Chains A and B, each alone.
Chain A
Amino acid sequence: MSAPLLSVTGAVKRFGGVQALRGVDFDLKAGEIHALLGENGAGKSTLMNLLSGVYTPDEGEIHIDGKPVTFNNPREAQAAGIATIFQELDLVPSLDVAANLFLGRELIRPGGMLDVPAMRREAKRRLEAIELAIDPARLVADLSIGQRQVVAIVKALSYASRVLIMDEPTAALTVGEVERLFEIMRKLAASGVGIIYISHRLEEVPEIADRVTVMRDGRVAGITEPHAPQAELVRLLVGRPLDELYPERARSAGKALLSLRDASFRLARESAGWQPPTGVSLEVREGEIVGLAGIMGAGRTELLSALYGTGLAGRWQGEVAVDGKPVRLDSISAARKAGIAFVTDDRRGSGLMLRMAVGLNLVMSVIRRISPAGLMSPRRQAEAVTRSFGQFDIRPKNPDIAVGALSGGNQQKVVLAKEILGNPRLLLLDEPTRGVDVGAKGEIYARLRALAAQGLGILVASSEMPELIGLCDRIVVLRQGRNVAEFNGGVDEHTVLAAANGREA
């Protein structure tokens, strides 16, 4: 048997006193798609950074074609044929596709002028090689996230073409875009490229991977074949079984908190790509977790943000009532007065003050309450922070750390804890576990269920079907801004998907 394309043996990496990798063995064959799974902090990013030359290992070796190699910087890794696509794509949105593909290695005519036609021709050829019909003269800013992802792949492959490392490439993609990406990945693998595919989405693994390596606590927890049951993968990931991930459902719900009857949100100005709620009827009762399902563009996020007054300008028509009384939900202050809190799907962009301390972030929504007569009360602030840390297991247990330094899961706990401090009656959640590892997901689900048991009503939009099915008491399916079906929790996934896509189950 020939040597694998790429192999790592006994890799150890320390940061100060923290051991990020504790002796990792890993290998990749030519033409293989190898999924690398692990929670945040499991060491998969560190491993990826060793392979792409960002870090050098403290111990252990990297081999390519059986020959030992060392990378002192990312350029050396690229020269050895390893291309890495990080989550934050290194594309310049204000330049066109061709200019991005040739960034830093532009084709120059004699005399120093850019040879734009040649670059566009070559860009077109490379894009067509993976059957992607994008006009090379289009601005990257005008492309969808999925198209940008592919442009980034083409760019990476143009300077390193043996190993492709992809860090959560599907995190921001729609279902259709994921399919397209997978086709391209299979095509590349068939041509002999080895692909390391890092993801949080367990359900994608059997579809795309040839082999799976699961990491936990800086070690390889297990290597398995992709059709291993999800329960087995979760057990490897978190070290405990799957059925503990979702808490038990509530037994009974109380009176109606939020009720919409044929409610529509009339926009002051039409906006392409923003699907306003259109004739929505739904109810969220005390103690109930209601899910919003729907394909991308069905209007889930729009419904939540219109209820909270953070969407586009416009006003509600039809019946919108909180506690049985009609309310005008046209601003953030109106929503907050009605006891509504909102956690957006973008915690870094609109949830947290990243450079500010955890404690300061936690009390952000209750500043009024902890500042009697306009003066901040350190005692009340400390009480509020203690309460949050008691409710949500935020790690590390230090309110003075900048929140941006926490892991995704802990950041999400901070956002949730912040809104819970305000004692809302109705909590609107958009993608509450995006970018959150499985362990923290379980904790968040348990907290939400416990809060519901105390009477909180929760309306949660998610693109992760297992999450909605596992967590919610009821699931409302939206299509084109309208509620088209409703199911009880625990329903099977295909039924919900069929309704979301407008087909009979």
Chain B
Amino acid sequence: MSDQRIEGTANSVPSGTAAPRHRVDPLAIVVRFQSLIGLVLVAIGGVIFSPRRHGEILFLNPDNIANIVRAVSETGIIAIGMTFVIITAGIDLSVGAVLGLSAVVTATMMISGGFGLIPTILAVLVMGVVFGVVQGTISTRFRLEPFIVTLAGLQAARGLALIVSGNQYINISYGDGPGLAPPVFAVLGERLFDNTVPVATIVFIIFAAIATLVLNTTRFGRYVYAVGGNERAARISGVPVSMVKISVYAITGFASALAGIVHAGQFNFGSANDGMGYELTAIAAVVIGGTSLFGGAGSMVGTVAGTIMLGALANILQLNNITPATQLLATAAIIVLAAVLQSLVRRREGLGR
């Protein structure tokens, strides 16, 4: 996925019990690229099963493609952050709620607070980071399971969002002057380059590119893999484990806040109920992308492919007027398939479970 550097998963593992030999396991290759392969399969399926109008394949219509990548950009941004957390063998359940809180705060600050665009965005991003730092600190300081801490964080963020919004939709109206958002903010709901590429998608792609570089080329990225690979060994090797853990929750906090801003800009309002269930979609995308919930292994490219694959799948089912119920069942099947593939490889590596 990256270059000659070795990712978290080993790319070749000997079979048998005696005298290991250097041989490439085809199954391991499939798992390594499972989400890309899945994405290609879904795309092929999309073309085959797409409804046609005057011979045009609707699935490949530029507007439809733009719709797919726009629809996944918010959960995609969150899944990028979630990848860091899951590689450390953690989990962050608060992301959807922090998205809601951020959307509400964004709308409130610009409309009733009269803050400008830049101060609002900076304040919301800082808030997301602080939220993550608090969760990470509580989890490391008191040695609590991230599952519990971020479950509490989910409730807290929803509660705060309700307080800030007074349980109302905060509508964003544009214009100059107090109580109005600067019109440039509405760009988040538009498309650039001859009205083809959604701005939200551009934010997603830029964030994904930066995250990929951080994970694959920096010392911090290596620490993230190390903490998930074996926390005690990492500590003994001098890795600042607590700092790394707090940082990854700061990253999910930042990602959720960014997604919240994009959400407010796309839909022109903020509501305390925004982002419901996004945490589960994001986790699904990360797992389908080949990142192990046991930690220590995973890739950002996989997460991006997993995110787009889920979006493309939902799209092709919608185009064929297949019910949301069936969409959920299809997603379930794909998650199980991805997990089973990973488990097979682990067993073949002789690493149990």
Contact = CB atoms under 8 A, between A and B. Distances in A.
Interface centre among B16, B234, B351, by most chain A C-beta atoms within 10 angstroms, is B16
Given A310-B235, A375-B218, A355 B21 contact: no
B13 interface: yes
Given A310-B235, A364-B234, A375-B217, 20 more contacts: A15-B18, A45-B17, A349-B232, A350-B232, A353-B229, A354-B229, A355-B8, A356-B226, A356-B297, A360-B229, A367-B226, A371-B219, A374-B218, A375-B218, A378-B5, A399-B6, A400-B11, A402-B9, A402-B10, A405-B350
A406 B221 CA distance: 25
B86 to A, nearest CB: 14
Contacts of A354: 229-230, 351
Given A375-B218, A376-B222, A400 B6 contact: yes
A235 B235 CA distance: 40
Interface residues of A, number: 53
Contacts of B233: 350-353, 364
A399 B346 CA distance: 18
Contact of B14 (A350, A375, A378, A396): A396
Interface stretch (B72-80, B236-244, B311-319): B236-244
A401 B20 contact: yes
Interface string B211-255: 000001111111101100110111111110000000000000000
A330 to B, nearest CB: 15
B12 interface: yes
A396 B296 contact: no
A395 B225 CA distance: 24
29 contacts: A16-B21, A18-B21, A46-B17, A332-B235, A332-B238, A350-B230, A351-B230, A351-B236, A352-B233, A355-B292, A355-B296, A356-B6, A356-B8, A360-B6, A360-B225, A364-B234, A365-B238, A367-B219, A368-B219, A368-B238, A371-B219, A375-B219, A376-B217, A376-B222, A400-B12, A401-B14, A401-B22, A402-B13, A402-B351
A428 B236 CA distance: 12
Interface of A: 15-20, 41, 43, 45-46, 49, 218, 308, 310, 332-333, 336, 342, 344, 349-357, 359-360, 364-365, 367-368, 371, 374-376, 378, 381, 395-396, 398-402, 404-407, 418, 422
A410 to B, nearest CB: 9
Given A350-B233, A376-B221, A401 B23 contact: no
A41 B18 contact: yes
Contacts of B236: 308, 310, 332, 342, 344, 350-351
Nearest to B28: A402
A364 B9 contact: no
A353 B296 contact: yes
A23 to B, nearest CB: 15
B17 A16 contact: no
Contact of B15 (A15, A351, A357): A15
Interface centre among B6, B21, B239, by most chain A C-beta atoms within 10 angstroms, is B6
A418 B221 CA distance: 19
Nearest to A415: B233
A107 B238 CA distance: 52
B4 interface: yes
B349 interface: yes
A430 to B, nearest CB: 11
Contacts of B218: 371, 374-376
Interface centre among A16, A352, A378, A402, by most chain B C-beta atoms within 10 angstroms, is A402
A407 B18 CA distance: 9
A149 B8 CA distance: 36
A187 B329 CA distance: 59
A402 B349 contact: yes
Contacts of A401: 10, 12-14, 20, 22
A333 B238 contact: yes
Contacts of B292: 355
Given A356-B8, A371-B218, A378-B5, A405 B13 contact: yes
Contacts of A218: 18
Interface string B312-353: 000000000000000000000000000000000010011100
Interface centre among B16, B19, B218, B233, by most chain A C-beta atoms within 10 angstroms, is B233
A43 B18 contact: yes
